[in-house]
């Protein structure tokens, strides 16, 4: 059940919640994926880029939006570890575009950590033959910085 704009709360009242439920609700404020995508689009639009979203048509997999005239799949991770970038590419495969936008607006990693992880992934020889359908990565930082990578 949603309460307010962006907080997810447990169905039970606070006094009825177990310890892990209380910690989860106190520590984590989660936004819906649309809210994160709109925040990302707002940051990208500061550079004069038009960002119209596409309507999803389940069960087919479609990209999320156009950035000017090019289709992009948005990935907005919340957590961060050594596999975050790889997982974002893996989850973007088959979405109908070779363009991936990785946004750091909801992630617990700093922009520098995420940029370094993308740099390392692109240079890592283990992944040279993988995710070939993703040819371009656009990174959007928490404060609106943009960085483009081509594979």
Residue 4 confidence class, pLDDT cut points 50, 70, 90: very low
Lowest-confidence region among 9-23, 25-39, 72-86, 90-104: 9-23
Do 87 and 71 touch, CB atoms closer than 8 A?
no
d(CA 66, CA 142): 20
d(CA 139, CA 148): 6
Phi, psi of 2 (to 5 degrees): -90, 145
What local confidence, expressed as pLDDT, does residue 61 receive?
A: 84
Could you tell me which residues come within 8 angstroms of residue 79 by beta carbon, excluding any fewer than 6 positions away? 107, 108
Residue 129 confidence class, pLDDT cut points 50, 70, 90: confident
What local confidence, expressed as pLDDT, does residue 93 receive?
A: 86
140 has pLDDT over 80: yes
Query: Considering the entire predicted model, what is its pTM?
Result: 0.78
What local confidence, expressed as pLDDT, does residue 128 receive?
A: 86
Structure-model confidence comparison of residues 121 and 19, the more confident one: 121
Average pLDDT, the chain: 83
């Amino acid at each position: 059940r949603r309460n307010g704009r962006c907080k997810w709360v447990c169905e039970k009242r606070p006094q009825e919640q177990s310890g892990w439920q209380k910690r989860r609700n106190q520590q984590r404020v989660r936004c819906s994926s649309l809210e994160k995508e709109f925040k990302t689009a707002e940051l990208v639009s500061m550079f004069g880029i038009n960002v119209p979203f596409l309507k999803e048509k389940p069960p087919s997999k479609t990209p999320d939006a156009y950035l000017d005239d090019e289709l992009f799949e948005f990935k907005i991770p919340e957590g961060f570890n050594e596999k975050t970038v790889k997982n974002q590419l893996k989850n973007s495969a088959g979405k109908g575009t070779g363009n991936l936008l990785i946004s750091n607006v909801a992630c617990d990693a700093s922009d520098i950590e995420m940029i370094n992880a993308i740099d390392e992934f692109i240079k890592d020889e283990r992944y040279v033959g993988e995710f070939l359908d993703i040819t371009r990565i656009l990174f959007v930082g928490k404060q609106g910085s943009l960085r483009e990578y081509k594979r």
